[in-house]
Amino acid sequence: MIQKSISILLIPLYLNTLSTQEYGILEIIIALSAFFSHLFMLQMDGGFQRFFYENKRPEKIKLYFSSHLYFIGFVNLLGAIVFYFFYDFIIYNIFSGRLIPKIIFALLGLNLFSRNITTLLLVALRFNNKKYWFAFSVITDTVITTVTAIILLLFYKMGIEGIYIAQLCGSVITNFIMLLVMRNDLVGNFDFTIIKPSVKYSILLVPGVVIGWSLSHYSRIFMSTSGISLQDIAVYGLAFKLSLLIIFGINALKLVWQPASINLIGKKGSKEFYSRIFDYYVSVLILIGMIIAVLSKSIINIIFPLNYSYAASIAPALIACTILNCSTIITSMGITITKKTLYTSLVGSIAAATNILIMFYYIDEYGMISIVLAYAASSFFTALFTYIISQKLLFIPYKLSTQFSLIIGTIIIAIYPYILNSFNYLFIPIIFLLIVLILSLWTLGTKELKIINNEIRDRIKYG
């Protein structure tokens, strides 16, 4: 979560201090580091959350947290070593012999270890109700990483090396603060039996998450090995980063959703709660997505160099894909509750196969557009099959109107730049925004809108 937020905040700095070729290389490196991060995290943050409340007893919780921390630390230390020693293989097979300083791979390995520790510590803070320290840690990491990156890139011209030194500084200092805050929650013992259910639950998620990586990140590597220029990879990378602007809203939802949804499992009214949250997710996200799509061209023209302007044409489609993919955070509750996480990997496999086949067969003919189409098709299948399987495992009364709005809203967002470029009328952005606004309000329904209206009136009246 933090990594995505920081990378979005620093895009202007990266694009104005790195050449287009260097930024293309950075996109490939980001894809590689994301793969190793997913692989060696083992999705233990998800397992930690899933079984936290079952172990929230004074005699168990400290050992539960400590055992997770030591386990993740050991596994990721091994991962950092493996990543470094894969240098020659990666340079030859992925970068086509382009020389990348070996120090960058050493920094990537250290970041792998430190960042995955950061992830688990943040989850532990949130679930232990240390909300102040959670927020403080997130802000500290962001500020330190950002300031260090600005200094190293602008004043010392350190390029990609400077980026990863900055990220390492941010995570190490933040980890020290979090460990200090949680020192009373740590014990020196390690007990594998207490984390065994978490490990079994999490490992079944790993194939699905790695497959998910293939949907969102593998495209850079595929383009690199298919002869696509570093400049085109850089343009696609920028478009993808713009699509992640919507992640800020999704992350805000996840902070509340994950502990609340798990804590409500099996309780009266939980299914209706899940359904209402899905209504709000679709209503808010399609509207925000449309606003970002309308503004994306202006954002790119004002902030970024001119050779990245084509990113505005494909960013809205990637925004739509992000909304579809992240809808599974909510619609997968049937899988989460029944602990049938193997289905997540199955859905991911179908989506990944679709993604790779479309890229493979159409990359030569359509270039970057084939990458976007592949991601769109795989995102649709991910959302569709996750919903169907999850509902089969445990029915949750999601509204049909909300499902309709999700599909139609994402389609409208995706086609917006092509309609605008074809007709180029000034009123087209307004029409698109109005259509999506109406769709957004319809998704919530009259009853929910009345509740919101009454809440606003009460706040105005009583302060």
Digit-coded pLDDT (tens) for 42-95: 999 989 988 898 888 877 999 999 999 999 999 999 999 998 888 988 888 888
Per-residue confidence (pLDDT) for residue 6, from 0 to 100: 67
Comparing 413 with 455, which gets the higher pLDDT?
413
Quick one: tokens of 11?
Answer: 């895009």
Give the separation between CA 226 and CA 362, rounded to whole angstroms. 11
d(CA 272, CA 270): 5
Phi, psi for residue 291 in degrees, rounded to 5: -65, -45
Phi, psi of 362 (to 5 degrees): -120, 0
Distance of CA 107 to the CA centre of its chain: 22
The DSSP line for 138-153 is HHHHHHHHHHHHHIII
> By the 8 A CB rule, do 95 and 64 touch?
no
Inter-residue long-range contacts of 223-230, CB under 8 Å, 24+ positions, other chains counted: 223/363, 223/368, 223/371, 224/28, 224/94, 224/95, 224/96, 225/93, 225/94, 225/96, 226/363, 226/364, 228/363, 228/367, 228/368, 229/24, 230/20, 230/21, 230/23, 230/24, 230/25
DSSP state of 157: -
Residue 220 parent element (H or E): helix 218-225
Nearest to 1 by CA among 171, 152, 202, 215: 171
Residue by residue, DSSP assigns 81-138 as HHHHHTHHHHHHHTSTT----HHHHHHHHHHHHHHHHHHHHHHHHHHTT-HHHHHHHH
Instruction: Provide the sign of the torsion angle of the four alpha carbons 251, 255, 261, 262, taken in this order.
Output: positive
Check residue 270 and give its pLDDT: 87
Distances (CA, A) of 155 to 48, 146, 150, 278, 317: 41, 14, 8, 46, 36
Tokens standing for residue 361: 């067969």
* Sequence-ordered alpha helix ranges (H) in 182-306: 192-203, 206-216, 218-225, 230-243, 247-263, 270-303
Contact 226, 16 (CB under 8 A): no
Q: For residue 374, give the amino acid letter.
A: A
Q: Is the pLDDT of residue 459 over 70?
A: yes
pLDDT at 463: 56
Token digits of residue 44? 């233990």
Report, in angstroms and rounded to the nearest whole number, the Rg of the chain calculated over CA atoms.
22
At residue 193, the pLDDT reads 95
Q: For residue 409, what pLDDT band results from cuts at 50, 70 and 90?
A: very high
Give yes or no for a contact between 16 and 302, defined as CB atoms under 8 angstroms apart. Answer: no
Q: Which of 295, 291, 290 is nearest to 405 (CA)?
A: 290
Q: What pLDDT, on the 0 to 100 scale, is given for residue 10?
A: 86
Looking at every residue in the chain, the average pLDDT score rounds to 89
* Residues across the chain: 463
* H-only helix segments in 333-399: 333-338, 342-366, 368-393
DSSP state of 255: H
82-91, 234-243, 403-412: which is most confident: 403-412
Q: In the 8-state DSSP scheme, what is residue 49?
A: H
Task: Give the pLDDT band (50/70/90) at residue 336.
Answer: confident
Tens-digit pLDDT profile for residues 94-151: 887 677 889 999 999 999 999 999 999 999 998 888 989 998 999 999 999 999 999 9
State the number of CA atoms in the 13 A half-sphere of 419 facing the CB. Answer: 17
Residue with tokens 């989506």: 351
Tell me the C-alpha distance between 235 and 17, whole Å. Answer: 15
More confident residue, 101 or 3: 101
Query: Is pLDDT above 90 for 361?
Result: yes
Please state, in angstroms and as integers, the Cα–Cα distance from residue 387 to each residue in 318, 324, 408, following that order: 20, 11, 17
